């Protein structure tokens, strides 16, 4: 079997790097630079340009590779490269951002083909500090689009939360 990988995507500051760090068995490799766009600089001082990389070793020695895409739209050419051949996609949405539903829409649109053929799960971060939009808004949005995907609040720092996301993804790949 070719490379086994999961891809984490989402807007800048959604928690992709943090999520991979929470479960990777190696220190996450990333390339951080000073953020340039105003929206990102207001939320974080650095941002991932190329990608994050972490990994887990499975029982038979195979590596499960964990990739985090760059969050900014101008690096979206990297998204197609990273998603190719991936086992599944994890979309993280920052609920404290200016337009979380819009962010989700963008990632669903960009990965629409992959989601239809393979599978994805959605984690909504920072709902504890920013409860709106409420989870029901996301359910309603997915229903309007006729999309059935697992979606639930997560703390990207929590290993348990990220494991639950991956568990849901694996379940969708097997039974969905």
CA pair distance 98, 95, nearest whole angstrom: 8
| 4 vs 50 by CB, closer to another protein | 4
Q: Do 57 and 73 form a contact (C-beta atoms < 8 A)?
A: no
Report, in Å, the least distance between residue 46 CB and another protein. 28
Count, in order, helices (H) and strands (E) of the chain: 7, 7
Going across the sheet that includes 4-10, the strands are 29-34, 46-57, 63-68, 4-10, 88-94, 120-125, 151-154
Q: Which span (12-20, 38-46, 97-105, 165-173) binds another protein, by CB under 8 A?
A: 165-173
Site string for another protein, 6-25 (x = CB under 8 A): -----------------x--
- Can you tell me which of 80, 84, 112, 167 binds another protein, judged by CB under 8 A? 167
Residues at the contact surface with another protein, assessed by CB under 8 A: 1, 4, 23, 56-60, 62, 64, 87, 135, 139, 142-143, 148-154, 161, 163-164, 166-168, 170-176
């Amino acid at each position: 079997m070719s490379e086994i990988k999961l891809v984490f995507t989402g807007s800048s500051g959604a928690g992709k790097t943090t999520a991979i760090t929470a479960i990777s068995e190696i220190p996450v490799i990333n390339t951080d630079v000073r953020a340039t766009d105003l929206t990102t600089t207001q939320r974080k001082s650095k941002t991932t340009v190329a990608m994050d990389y972490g990994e887990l070793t499975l029982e038979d020695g195979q590596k499960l590779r964990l990739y985090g895409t760059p969050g900014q739209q101008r690096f979206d050419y990297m998204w197609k490269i990273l998603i190719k051949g991936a086992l599944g996609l994890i979309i993280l949405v920052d609920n404290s951002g200016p337009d979380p539903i819009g962010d989700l829409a963008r990632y669903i649109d960009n990965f629409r083909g992959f989601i239809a053929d393979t599978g994805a799960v959605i984690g909504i971060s920072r709902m504890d500090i920013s409860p709106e939009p409420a989870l029901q808004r996301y359910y309603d949005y997915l229903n309007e689009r006729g999309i059935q995907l697992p979606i639930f609040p997560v703390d990207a720092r929590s290993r348990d939360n990220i494991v639950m996301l991956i568990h849901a993804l694996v379940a969708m790949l097997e039974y969905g």
